[in-house]
Amino acid sequence: MPTRDVNEKIADMFDTIADVLELQGDIPYRIRAYRNAARTIRDLPQPIEEVAREGKLEDLPGIGKDLAAKILEYLETGRMSKYEEVVSQVPPGLIELLHIPGLGPKRVRLLHERLGISDLEDLRRALDSGRIETLPGMGKKTVENIRRGLALYEASKERMPLGRALPIAEEIARQIDALPGTARVVIAGSARRMKETVGDIDILTIAEDGEATIQAFVRFPQVRDILAAGDTKGSVVLHNGLQVDLRVVPPESYGAALHYFTGSKAHNIKIRTIAREQGLKVNEYGIFRGEERIGGEEEADVFRVLGMPWIPPEMREDRGEIEAALEGRLPTPVSLDDIRGDPHVHSKWSDGANTIRELAQAARARGYEYIAVTDHSPRVRVAGGMSVEKVWQRQKEIEALNREFDDFRILSGAEVDILPDGSLDYPDEVLAALDLVIVSVHSGFKMSREEMTRRILRALENPYVHILAHPTGRLIGQREPYPVDLEAVLRRAAELGVAVEINGYYLRLDLDDVNAHLAKELGCTISLGTDAHQVDHLSMMRYAVGVARRAWLEPQDVLNTKSLPDLLAWLQRRRSG
């Protein structure tokens, strides 16, 4: 069975080939070609084997005759001779050194050729012995930078989940905003694009006195190390290890700089290429025709001069958004304002921290029309799963609460465990009495791909099921997705009218952006749920929306953009049909 694991594998091989070619001083354009191809394959929603089978490898952007042949070779033989050839030419540990900030191909090569440094351990020893300073072009400061780069690399091998990093960034932005002379402040970079993890935080500001702003910034209490502090740029590492860069930009360049520092890099490259074709130049200072500045104060200027509408940051990954914008078919992605309720919330009846009343009040205060309280079923013992008896008791409480509200509705729901054989953890008569039934896998992850697929497919067949939650079970930075033929699951869900979830809990974000896009293409309805276990978690809806926007989902693709009457009709549809 083809899987996207193979995509990852081939993308990694191409990236490694690019690394080695860099070390060998090959021409930059060939190196870039490998990197572009790696990115294309990594972002591909379907297994590359399918593309290969249809003979469409060369239709993929950045894949030509040569790379298509290499992919085919790997798919057919399990090996790629170019990869094996280049990898055998360098010591295995040398490639990793390229990933240390401050070390590029030239310096790694110098270290290797002159000092015999071949891996992290060699580098650490050479730093301690002071030998590196004897090399040409390696002064004390460069060596010190490499030392810091090594520490940074080891400390931050893992990127920080967006749900941790964004609140930290927002707090720092607030502190900058409170400084005297700050006119504007905005978070840019991958955090603005709502990428599921971020490597560092980029913040832009317009300030009267750049130097004073930077000096204040590097003295914020969260700061552990100051990496740079000039009059337009400051760079720090916080106590939690997160790197934050602050840039002071002039008002006339604000929009151009915001676009530039939001990225992604691939998106920016394509924008600049298109600008060049039109005889324009786009950089972080503005948009220029010859010497003449024709825009740059607002971000929309960048897109307008190139003849396209403003593209939402979450879509700027060079996954076709620029072409879509130019052709006037850029979707308007779902936004937080479109969300009318939260269909996945836990109360004290299972492992939630708050009462149903507290959850309802918090949801109502957010402007929602409804929530579904979806406590766990008994099998999930660690989560205080509800016995059938408790389901009936809870039902009474919900009915009583609903009589108190005339502009808000609590739906009685459950997150029902999918047992290893694919049956559900409540009998049908209980499911039938619930307004909204979520199903999900919480245990028995270690089955084969075929068994897991069969298990989930069987659960979907139950006519009382409305939503499949966190369909891959992954936890960012903690647990890989369980093996499953996700495409088969999504296909069947679309046929049966079962919605699939983008779980907004910051460690889940499951489905992810690529799979959520695939789900849309296959015709699935998608439910954005927070899986909140306390009232504060209701705010994680913004992460679910972020993933949805990265997946190009529009309001009509999303279950909980429906009004309460429309939602109730949708919930009834499968049961009555």
C-alpha 499/C-alpha 468 separation (Å) is 6
Under the binding rule (CB under 7 A), the answer on residue 16 touching DNA is no
Helix-, strand-, coil-residue percentages of the chain, each rounded to 5? 50, 15, 35
CB-CB contact of 523 with 490 (8 Å): no
Under the binding rule (CB under 7 A), the answer on residue 203 touching DNA is no
Site string for DNA, 49-68 (x = CB under 7 A): ---------x--xxxxxxxx
Q: How far is the CB of 177 from DNA (least distance, A)?
A: 22
Stretch that binds DNA, among 132-140, 209-217, 449-457, 484-492 (CB under 7 A): 132-140
Q: Show the tokens assigned to 557.
A: 């693709």
Stretch that binds DNA, among 174-182, 216-224, 226-234, 314-322 (CB under 7 A): 226-234
C-alpha 121/C-alpha 94 separation (Å) is 11
Q: Show the tokens assigned to 132.
A: 């590196």
Q: How far is the CB of 551 from DNA (least distance, A)?
A: 24
Which residues ranging from 79 to 98 are in contact with DNA (CB under 7 A)? Answer: 82
Q: How far is the CB of 61 from DNA (least distance, A)?
A: 5
Under the binding rule (CB under 7 A), the answer on residue 307 touching DNA is no
Helix (H) or strand (E) segment spanning residue 198 = strand 197-198
Helix (H) or strand (E) segment spanning residue 514 = helix 513-521
Under the binding rule (CB under 7 A), the answer on residue 37 touching DNA is yes
Angle at 556 between CA 551 and CA 557, to 5 degrees: 40
Q: How far is the CB of 82 from DNA (least distance, A)?
A: 6
Q: How far is the CB of 24 from DNA (least distance, A)?
A: 12
What's the full length of the chain, in residues? 577
Site string for DNA, 420-459 (x = CB under 7 A): ----------------------------------------
Closest of 389, 366, 386 to residue 378, by C-alpha: 386
Bridge partners of 526, per DSSP, are 500, 558
Under the binding rule (CB under 7 A), the answer on residue 149 touching DNA is yes
Q: How far is the CB of 171 from DNA (least distance, A)?
A: 21
Interface with DNA (CB under 7 A), residue from 232, 361, 443, 534: 232
Q: Show the tokens assigned to 378.
A: 């008994």
Closest of 528, 511, 163, 477 to residue 340, by C-alpha: 528
Q: Show the tokens assigned to 346.
A: 């836990």
Total Cβ atoms within 10 A of residue 175: 16
Q: How far is the CB of 83 from DNA (least distance, A)?
A: 11
Name which of 36 and 377 has its Cβ closer to DNA.
Answer: 36
Q: Which amino acid is at 56?
A: K
Size of site (CB under 7 A) for DNA:
55
Interface residues with DNA (CB under 7 A) are: 27, 29-30, 32-34, 36-37, 58, 61-68, 82, 100-108, 136-143, 145, 149, 200, 202, 228, 230, 232-233, 261, 265, 268-269, 272-273, 276-277, 281, 283-285
